Amino acid sequence: MEKNVIMSPTCELVLIGGSSGSLDVLLKIISSLRKDISIAIVVVVHRKTTSDSTLSELFSIRSSLPVKEVEDKDAIIPGVVYLAPSDYHLLFEKKHVFALDYSEKVNYSRPSIDVTFDSASEAYGNNAVAILLSGANADGTEGLKAIHQQGGITIAQTPETASFPYMPEQAILHAPVDFQMSVEQMIDYINGK
């Protein structure tokens, strides 16, 4: 993983996108993160609108890091896990500041993983790492392309380890994916940041 070594000093943001079958993986990752991690983690997951606060509570209980559901123009602080609120697209106003958008769904989703990854690629360039987990649709592929194009790192969950392999598979087929990782590898990778 030589690219990892070169990039690691500048990584400021880890983005994680997931859909069907990603919740268990997310909980595993969140609960295994280093307490003194110095990057911000941003999670975009497709969900029903009603499960809103339940999800952030679920994350909070498992995480040793503070978990926050994003509000408009929130500052992005290292060592915090941010969760995209349901029914909004999550954007980056610039480095270190979020923005929310209530525009049309993308890939039948709001939040859409593509939208957040794409916006992060513009604000963070090669300082971003984007990870795509299990899912039954193709959201995230375009976003990974954008991240890669701006010099960031792209990672897909090894399809064999995903309950719904379609989403990482699509990414591997159509986007430049730097690494395929199992959940354990992802945890080591993020904790190494």
CB nearer other proteins, residue 120 or residue 156 = 120
CB nearer other proteins, residue 36 or residue 104 = 104
Known active-site residue 114: no
How far is the C-alpha of 101 from the C-alpha of 91, rounded, in Å? 7
CB nearer other proteins, residue 111 or residue 135 = 111
> Considering the complex, what minimum distance in angstroms separates the CB of residue 165 from other proteins?
30
> Considering the complex, what minimum distance in angstroms separates the CB of residue 189 from other proteins?
27
> Considering the complex, what minimum distance in angstroms separates the CB of residue 45 from other proteins?
16
> Considering the complex, what minimum distance in angstroms separates the CB of residue 79 from other proteins?
21
Record the tokens describing residue 155, joined without a space.
């990672």
Of 22, 46, 56, 63, which residue is the catalytic one? Answer: 46
CB-based contacts of 48, cutoff 8 Å, min separation 6: 86
Instruction: Report H helices in 87-165.
Output: 113-124, 141-149
Angle at 18 between CA 170 and CA 114, to 5 degrees: 65
Q: Which residues bind other proteins (CB under 8 A)?
A: 70-73, 85, 88, 91-94, 99-104, 115, 119, 123
Of 22, 56, 119, 139, which residue is the catalytic one? Answer: 139
**Peptide bond preceding 111 in cis form (omega within 30 of 0):** yes
Known active-site residue 19: yes
> 140, 165 in Cβ contact below 8 A?
no
CB nearer other proteins, residue 70 or residue 81 = 70
CB-based contacts of 97, cutoff 8 Å, min separation 6: 73, 74, 75, 76
Active site residues: 19, 46, 139
